[in-house]
Amino acid sequence: MKSHVWRPLYVVIAIVVLILAARVWFVPRDFGIQERGYMYGWHRLANEADWKQVKVKYRTAEYCKECHRDKYDDLKRSPHAKIMCENCHGPAMGHPPDPPTLTIDRSRSLCIRCHFYLPYKNSGRGKIRGIDPATHHPEAACTMCHYPHNPKREAKR
C-alpha cells in the first residue's frame, strides 16, 4: 500500500492507544457496574457512602392524596394518570406547612415540555398530543383553557 494510506492509519491507531492509556490514568479503578450488574448503572464504589447521605426529595402521589384527594382522583381518571404530581409541581420534600404559600408553576414552558408537537409518531413521546407554541394561543397560559389534572375536562374559571 502507498504511504498515503498508512500514515492516516498510524494516526488513528496512535489516537486509540492514547485514549486507552488516558483511561488507565483518569478513570478510577473502582468505577464500573460492580457485582449487581446494571441495576445501579456505572458508578464508583467509593461514592456509595456519599450517595447514601443524600436526602430524598421526591415522594409519591400517595403523599399528595392525603390533602389533595379531589385533584388526585381527577388525575387518576385522566390521560395524565401516569404522571407523578412532582413532575409538574416539584419535589414534595420542600412542601411548606402552610399550603397557600406554595407556588405553582403555571407557565407555558412547563406544559410544552411534553406537549411540543413531534412528528415521530412511532415513539412513545410522539403519541402525546402536541402543539406549536408559536401559533397555539401564544399570549395565553395553558391553564386558561385546559385543566391540567384532567385535560378532558374544561378549565375551572
E strands, 24-146, are 31-32, 43-44
31-32/43-44 β-pairing: antiparallel
Give the DSSP letter of residue 143: G
143, 106 contact by CB (below 8 A): yes
pTM above 0.85, yes or no: no
Quote the cell numbers at residue 54: 443524600
Q: How confident is the model at residue 64 (pLDDT cuts 50, 70, 90)?
A: confident
According to the model, what pLDDT value does residue 52 have?
Answer: 87
128, 112 contact by CB (below 8 A): no
103 vs 90: CA distance, rounded Å: 10
According to the model, what pLDDT value does residue 101 have?
Answer: 62
Report the C-alpha dihedral over residues 79, 93, 144, 136, rounded to 10 degrees. -70
Does the pLDDT at position 85 exceed 70?
A: yes
**What are the sequence ranges of the domains in the chain?**
3-53, 61-144
72 vs 77: CA distance, rounded Å: 9
In DSSP terms, which residues pair with 146 in a beta bridge? 154
40, 34 contact by CB (below 8 A): yes
According to the model, what pLDDT value does residue 1 have?
Answer: 62
Average pLDDT over residues 92-112: 76
